[in-house]
Amino acid sequence: MTDHSDDIHPLFAGAPRTTEFKKLRKRIVRLTREAIEQYGMIEKGTRWLVCLSGGKDSYTLLAVLHELQWRGLLPVDILACNLDQGQPGFPATVLPAFLEKMGVPHRIEYKDTYSIVMDKISIVMDKIPQGRTFCALCSRLRRGNLYRIAREEGCSAVVLGHHRDDILETFFMNLFHGGRLATMPPKLLNEDGDLFVYRPLAHVSEIDCEKFSKAMEYPIIPCDLCGSQDGLQRQQVKQILDGWEANSPGRRQIMFRALTNTRPSHLLDPELFDFAGLTRDLDQFETNPDDIPKLR
């Protein structure tokens, strides 16, 4: 049995009517709404460019945002966008067919960034440290094109499907390999100052996205450019987090909560806390000798 079509957005039509799935859907919607409100993502009357890669996370993002919009809880226009990066074998008809079927306004953009990345790899392949990839280059090229499309479409924000686990993994990658405490923020202003970058799934776990997209039987498109290579730093960090979670269930959520509860005075960054200007308050210790209690 499936959800009734009159009380749910078409992107959820055909969803399992099991109690387990309904709880999953409500949890994802609640956490997404929570992040949107907590980080001040809503500007009424604006337009969002929602990036759809064809992966489980972006499908989940698209469905939840339309659910919130449909229920009057997200007063913005939504334009789905897929950037076809020219990867060999990319099933170019899958996403357009899906979006047409669901009645989702969309734009499909073709830009061959794949060739640029592969050319770069062929030039300096012998200089690449083992375990390193060109994910960063691919990401920059993709982001630049998405910013351009957002401006052309009159959008105020580029909306990405990064979830809680992506944020945690990025934090540890920066910690282990970058020497800094930083991660993907849920809300970011681009360098030009004209576009926001939002991550509404910031509080949603990867396993929930996986369960949701699998239950909905969305046509998943894997990334074959670099995501399948062995030894990626992100994969290594993910394995570490998986091990911690297996030994202590709930560890990921505790670590994520720590990112929302920082104490600059208990870290070591003088740019965040004025250690040099920290002084003692000796006035509170000035007392009258007569006020000192006598020993009995």
8 A C-beta contact, residue 21 and residue 175: no
Predicted local distance difference test score (pLDDT) of residue 275 = 95
Q: Is residue 174 one of the residues assigned to a domain?
A: yes
Residue 94 lies in a domain: yes
Paired tokens of 187 = 């809300």
Closest CA to 216 of 102, 83, 78, 96: 102
In order along its 296 residues, the chain shows pLDDT tens digits of: 344 445 667 777 788 989 999 999 999 999 999 999 999 999 999 999 999 999 999 999 999 999 999 999 999 999 999 988 777 778 889 999 999 999 999 999 987 777 776 776 655 555 444 444 556 667 788 888 999 999 999 999 999 999 999 999 999 999 998 899 999 999 999 999 999 999 999 999 999 999 999 999 999 987 655 544 434 788 899 999 999 999 999 999 999 999 999 999 999 999 999 999 999 887 766 666 666 666 65
Start-end of H helices in 14-54: 19-38
DSSP type of residue 16: B
User: Which residue range forms the structural domain that includes residue 248?
Assistant: 5-291
Report the CATH number that the domain containing residue 282 is assigned in CATH.
3.40.50.620
pTM to 2 decimal places:
0.85
Domain count, the chain: 1
Decide if 60 is inside a domain: yes
Inside any domain, residue 218: yes
Q: Which of 100, 46, 92 lies closest to 69, judged by CA?
A: 46
In this structure, are strands 196-198 and 187-189 parallel, antiparallel, or unpaired? antiparallel
The CA angle 206-5-162, to the nearest 5 degrees, is 20
The tokens describing 229, both together, are 């290579």
Judge whether 284 lies within some domain. yes
Please report the beta strands in 146-273, taking only residues with DSSP state E, as ranges in sequence order: 157-159, 187-189, 196-198
Note whether residue 194 is domain-resident. Answer: yes
Cβ atoms 142, 80 nearer than 8 A = no
> Residue 123 has what pLDDT?
55
296 in a domain, yes or no? no
